[in-house]
Chain A
């Protein structure tokens, strides 16, 4: 499978990771090598095989109830009026 620079750039954007030109160059080559290796899976006789799955049933789960931590669970100093400050939306 051929991996292109444009693909890696797009994947970087989807994963919200800014990549430098040097990284883009390097990752494209390396990921192509990795993906070629993963293509080994194509050689497997898998038609009849079910994918692995968990044995646990949803009914076994504990109730999803909120619980409070003692003290401050947040590690940022950027705050205002009891809220955490984030970047602007647009």
Chain B
């Protein structure tokens, strides 16, 4: 079996037992990347230092030193997460030459655990999008059908894992950006509780909503990555104390609630698959029931108000003076220079900045932003009440199947509506995971599981139980 097919756990075990070297493994992966990238386009940048890093891991093992639980494991990092010495573009012209002088905390922690950064994964510009079509570096294509979108905004992350160009990846999720592409690419992707993982070094888009999240081909790989990166960080004051350790366990008797509203406006083929997933969980000893979450009706309006408002303030900092693309300040007046330089933001980023400026305008603040924050409270209270009688809530991750590239690009509202099931977890700050549920006409469907704040172990238990029973396996032919 080629080494690039191995999961994170298998790689670390193989490297540590010297069954194969980290260098051989990385070499095979680089060959794999060269072969499939023309089709998939999951990467913005390949890390030229990956082989050298692998050699240092091999040396550590030869010298009998500790190489870490992820020894030699290749990970891709979404290109909005800072990597020291490797450019971090956010798939934007505004940061095309930005080389961070520091690593994000999550990158430091992965490397401390022995992981190797293989490259920087493509995304929608500044993580704004659901398809990875809004990237300056071209669209990433779905490895299961390259005429279709991989989801987004962490489309490069999910596609690189599905296409076996790395064992795992880090994405970021403000409204479903890890779970949507995980669902469309048939891999596992998790959005942890707000505050579980440091955002230090994650380029901010909607900072009250977003979290870094792990993506892997199995629940087990997601657990390994989560264990490496989770826990408090003094550089991010929104992180919460402690260093949790998650395990893989099959837990029986979980109380599962299927959210009726998640199924109602869903593609019937997807809905059918989710009902089948509920049967599977029931067959595994879960107590399943149908339940209702009324505030779903307002979730998307609340999300897009808050996300665009935060985007407009977070992106105000890009003036192209201290770093950016090559545009001489000579001959420009201050304001006209900024307006000219900032017109280089892409289509969706500009649309969100202006929409965000609109909802924050004087006179509209109370009508939109304040109400959106109230809606968020209401949603969270309703969820908290539901979690008294349910351990996990389930539904489809995406209400539709992966669609054709270009199909929704000219209709922003239609594009936003596909996020309806994922934004809930971000608004409430709660953890959610997408696991492969099966295929409809060869296209992946993801099952979303959600739990109360800091109940990551519960959703991992449920996801693992489902994964073992459903046995959705396989990799795309590329």
B318: nearest residue on chain A (CB-CB)?
A16
Please determine whether B237 and A17 come into contact, CB atoms closer than 8 angstroms.
no
Please determine whether A46 and B378 come into contact, CB atoms closer than 8 angstroms.
yes
Please determine whether B358 and A56 come into contact, CB atoms closer than 8 angstroms.
no
Stretch at the interface among B266-274, B365-373, B387-395: B365-373
- Contact residues, B299-339 vs A (CB, 8 A): 300-302, 304-305, 312, 316, 321-324, 326, 328-329, 332-339
Q: Which of B98, B323, B374 has the most CB of A within 10 A?
A: B374
Q: Which of B304, B312, B326, B375 has the most CB of A within 10 A?
A: B375
**Known: A38-B305, A51-B373, A52-B377. Is A30-B412 also a contact (CB below 8 A)?**
yes
Residues 14-34 of chain A, each 1 if its beta carbon lies under 8 Å from chain B, else 0 = 111111000100010011011
A47: nearest residue on chain B (CB-CB)?
B374
**Residues of A close to B335: CB separation below 8 A:** 16
Stretch at the interface among B50-58, B68-76, B349-357: B349-357
Bound form: Cα–Cα A73–B101 in Å:
6
Task: Looking at the assembled complex, report how far the CB atom of B313 sits from the nearest CB atom of chain A, in whole angstroms.
Answer: 10
Task: Looking at the assembled complex, report how far the CB atom of B434 sits from the nearest CB atom of chain A, in whole angstroms.
Answer: 24
Bound form: Cα–Cα A7–B345 in Å:
20
A6 at the B interface (CB under 8 A): no
Q: Is the interface of A mostly helix, strand, loop or mixed?
A: loop
**Known: A49-B377, A56-B238, A75-B97. Is A11-B357 also a contact (CB below 8 A)?**
yes
**Residues of B close to A76: CB separation below 8 A:** 321-324
A2 at the B interface (CB under 8 A): no
Q: Which of A27, A56, A75, A86 has the most CB of B within 10 A?
A: A75
B329: nearest residue on chain A (CB-CB)?
A87
Contact of B355 among A13, A34, A41 (CB under 8 A): A34
B361 at the A interface (CB under 8 A): yes
Task: Looking at the assembled complex, report how far the CB atom of A73 sits from the nearest CB atom of chain B, in whole angstroms.
Answer: 5
Which range holds the interface residue count of chain A?
A: 35 or more
**Known: A15-B342, A46-B375, A51-B377. Is A87-B358 also a contact (CB below 8 A)?**
no
Bound form: Cα–Cα A35–B78 in Å:
30
Bound form: Cα–Cα A35–B309 in Å:
13
B413 at the A interface (CB under 8 A): yes
Which range holds the interface residue count of chain B?
A: 35 or more
Q: Which of B98, B238, B312, B329 has the most CB of A within 10 A?
A: B329
Contact of A86 among B102, B304, B321, B373 (CB under 8 A): B321
Bound form: Cα–Cα A60–B234 in Å:
10
B408 at the A interface (CB under 8 A): no
**Residues of B close to A3: CB separation below 8 A:** 358
B380 at the A interface (CB under 8 A): yes
Please determine whether B328 and A41 come into contact, CB atoms closer than 8 angstroms.
no
A85 at the B interface (CB under 8 A): yes
**Residues of B close to A74: CB separation below 8 A:** 322-323
B99 at the A interface (CB under 8 A): yes
Please determine whether A14 and B357 come into contact, CB atoms closer than 8 angstroms.
yes
B292 at the A interface (CB under 8 A): no
Please determine whether A72 and B101 come into contact, CB atoms closer than 8 angstroms.
yes
Contact of A52 among B301, B342, B359, B376 (CB under 8 A): B376
B297: nearest residue on chain A (CB-CB)?
A40
B361: nearest residue on chain A (CB-CB)?
A11
Please determine whether A41 and B301 come into contact, CB atoms closer than 8 angstroms.
yes
Please determine whether A69 and B329 come into contact, CB atoms closer than 8 angstroms.
no
Residues 77-110 of chain B, each 1 if its beta carbon lies under 8 Å from chain A, else 0 = 0000000000000000000011101100000000
Task: Looking at the assembled complex, report how far the CB atom of A13 sits from the nearest CB atom of chain B, in whole angstroms.
Answer: 7
Please determine whether B370 and A51 come into contact, CB atoms closer than 8 angstroms.
yes
Contact of A17 among B334, B345, B413 (CB under 8 A): B345
Contact of B377 among A11, A33, A50, A90 (CB under 8 A): A50
Please determine whether A44 and B332 come into contact, CB atoms closer than 8 angstroms.
no
Bound form: Cα–Cα A70–B343 in Å:
32
**Residues of A close to B374: CB separation below 8 A:** 44, 46, 49-52
Please determine whether B326 and A77 come into contact, CB atoms closer than 8 angstroms.
yes
* Known A71-B101, A75-B97, A75-B324; 20 more pairs at CB < 8 Å: A15-B316, A16-B342, A35-B355, A37-B301, A38-B368, A42-B371, A46-B375, A49-B378, A52-B373, A52-B374, A54-B238, A61-B237, A72-B101, A75-B322, A75-B323, A76-B323, A84-B322, A86-B334, A87-B334, A87-B338
Nearest first, the 7 closest Cβ-Cβ pairs linking A and B are A75-B323, A51-B373, A87-B337, A87-B332, A16-B338, A87-B329, A18-B343
22 interchain pairs (CB within 8 A)?
A11-B358, A16-B335, A17-B343, A17-B345, A18-B343, A19-B343, A19-B350, A27-B351, A34-B412, A38-B359, A41-B301, A41-B302, A41-B368, A44-B378, A46-B378, A49-B375, A50-B374, A51-B370, A74-B322, A75-B98, A86-B337, A87-B329
